[in-house]
Amino acid sequence: MIYNILNKKILTKDDIIYLLKTDKTERNILFKKSAEVKQKSIGNKVYYRGLIEFSNICEKNCYYCGIRKSNKNIKRYNILDDDILKSAKFAFDANYGSVVLQSGEIANDKFTRRIENLLKKIKLLSNNKLGITISLGEQTEETYKRWFKAGAHRYLLRIETSNRNLYYKMHPENKNHNFNNRINCLQNLKKIGYQTGTGIMIGLPFQSLSDLADDLIFMKNIDIDMCGMGPYIEHKDTPLYKYRNLLLPLEERFILTLKTIAILRLLMPNINIAAATALQAIDKIGREKALKIGANIIMPNITPGKFRNHYKLYENKPCIDDEPDDCKQCLDARIAISGNKIGYGEWGDSLHFKKKKYFF
C-alpha cells in the first residue's frame, strides 16, 4: 500500500492521511522517499538564516504563545537597534548568508519606520550581501511594501492551522485575530514579490490528522515558496495549557512533525523547508533529523544570549544560555554529521520561487 501511494504523481487527501498514520516500518519508507526527493530536486545543501528575536513585546493574545500580551509573568525586552545591527554583522562575518528578524507583533507607524531603517542598515553593513527574511506578523499591504523596498525579500507568516474553527480555538475571535486577514496577508506578500513562507503547529489540542492533511493541501494550493512548521509545545502561562491532557506525548508530536515535513517535501519538491527550533526542544538532534528527511533550512539563534531566556514562545527552549559563537561551532559539526553540506555565504533562495519567476 505505501509503495502504491509513494509512486503516485498526485497525492489525495486520503493518501496524505495514510502517510500521517504510518507505523514505524512504513514511516521509514516514507522518510527514505522524501530524502530521495529532496536530493533529486534541491540537493543536500543546507542554508543558514541567523535568527534575531529582537523583542518579545506583542500586541496579540494567541492562546498558545508564551509571549502573548496578557502574560504578566515575563520580562519584556526590546533590543537596541545598534545591538540588532551587531548581530546582523555577526551573521555576515560568520558567512551565514541570511538573517531573520522576528518579534512579537506590533503594528504602528513608529514600528514600520524602525524596521524600514534597520533593513536599510543591514543591507548597507553587508554591501547588500546578507539576505533578509522577516517574520513580524500581520501588517498592512503598505507596510509590507515599504519593508520589501527597504531590502527584505522573504516573509514568514504561519497560518498556524488552515481550519477556521480550530483557528478560533487557538486565538480569540476579534479584529486583532482574524483568519481571513491572515490569508489576505499571505496573498499580499506574494503579490508584492516576497518569497512567502507559511507553516503550522503540529499536535495542537483538537487538531486531527484530517486537519493536518488539509493544512498540507492548503500550502500546496496557495503555492508557498517556503515553510516553517514545528510541534506545538505547551506553555504553562497560556490559556491553552488547560487542554494539555488532550495532547499527544511529545515524542509522538515529534514523529508526526517529521512525517508532515516528509509529506510536504513530496508535495512540493523544490520549496525551502525549515527545520524548526521547536523540534530541538523535544529531541536534541531533532533539527538534524528533519534535515535528513526533507528540510533544507536551519535558523541558528544569534539573539544575544542574555535575551534568549525571555523569548519563550514555549517551554524547554534549547540553548538559551549559549552565545552566538557557541552555536556556530556546534551546528557546523551537527550538519556535517547529518550528511548535508552548508551553503555558506549563499542566500539559498527558494528554487520554487526562482522557477516561477523564470517561467512568467
Residues at the site binding ligand SAH, with contacts judged by CB under 6 A: 64-65, 102, 104-105, 135, 137, 157-158, 160, 201, 230, 232-233, 235, 278, 313-314
Binding-site size, ligand SF4 (CB under 6 A): 10
Q: DSSP for 235-254, please give it.
A: -TTSGGGGGGGGSPPHHHHH
The residue type of 22 is: T
- Report what 68 binds from ligand SF4, ligand SAH, none; CB cut-off 5-8 Å by kind: ligand SF4
User: What is the CA 286 to chain-centroid distance, rounded?
Assistant: 14
CB atoms within 10 A of CB 184: 13
- Report what 201 binds from ligand SF4, ligand SAH, none; CB cut-off 5-8 Å by kind: ligand SAH
Partners of residue 243 on adjacent β-strands: none
How far is Cα 255 from Cα 26, in angstroms, rounded to an integer?
Answer: 13
Q: Considering the rule CB under 6 A, would residue 204 count as an interface residue with ligand SF4?
A: no
List the interface residues with ligand SF4, window 105-134 (CB under 6 A): 105
Contact 71, 62 (CB under 8 A): no
- Report what 179 binds from ligand SAH, ligand SF4, none; CB cut-off 5-8 Å by kind: none
SS3 label, residue 339 = coil
Q: DSSP for 135-148, please give it.
A: E-----HHHHHHHH
CA angle (206, 137, 52) in 5-degree steps: 105
CB environment 120-141: b (16+ within 10 A), e (fewer) = ebbbeebeeebbbbbbbbbbee
List the interface residues with ligand SF4, window 266-295 (CB under 6 A): none
**Mask for 136-175, x = binds ligand SF4 (CB under 6 A):** -x--------------------------------------
- Report what 353 binds from ligand SAH, ligand SF4, none; CB cut-off 5-8 Å by kind: none
Task: In angstroms, give the least distance from the CB of 157 to ligand SAH.
Answer: 6
Helices 324-337 and 286-293: crossing angle in degrees, nearest 10, is: 40
Q: In terms of CB distance, is 64 or 90 closer to ligand SF4?
A: 64
Reduced to 3 DSSP states, what percent helix, strand and coil does the chain have, rounded to the nearest 5? Answer: 50, 15, 35
- Report what 278 binds from ligand SAH, ligand SF4, none; CB cut-off 5-8 Å by kind: ligand SAH
**Mask for 47-66, x = binds ligand SF4 (CB under 6 A):** -----------x-x-x--x-
Residue 5, CA distances (Å) to 22, 51, 273 in order = 12, 37, 22
Q: Considering the rule CB under 6 A, would residue 104 count as an interface residue with ligand SF4?
A: yes
Q: Which of 68, 182, 289, 312: binder of ligand SF4 (CB under 6 A)?
A: 68
User: What is the CA 7 to chain-centroid distance, rounded?
Assistant: 29
Task: In angstroms, give the least distance from the CB of 135 to ligand SF4.
Answer: 9
Task: In angstroms, give the least distance from the CB of 161 to ligand SAH.
Answer: 10
- Report what 131 binds from ligand SF4, ligand SAH, none; CB cut-off 5-8 Å by kind: none
Residues in the chain: 360
Phi, psi of 183 (to 5 degrees): -65, -40
Task: In angstroms, give the least distance from the CB of 133 to ligand SF4.
Answer: 15
- Report what 232 binds from ligand SAH, ligand SF4, none; CB cut-off 5-8 Å by kind: ligand SAH
**Which residues are near ligand SF4 by CB under 6 A?**
58, 60, 62, 65, 67-68, 104-105, 137, 313
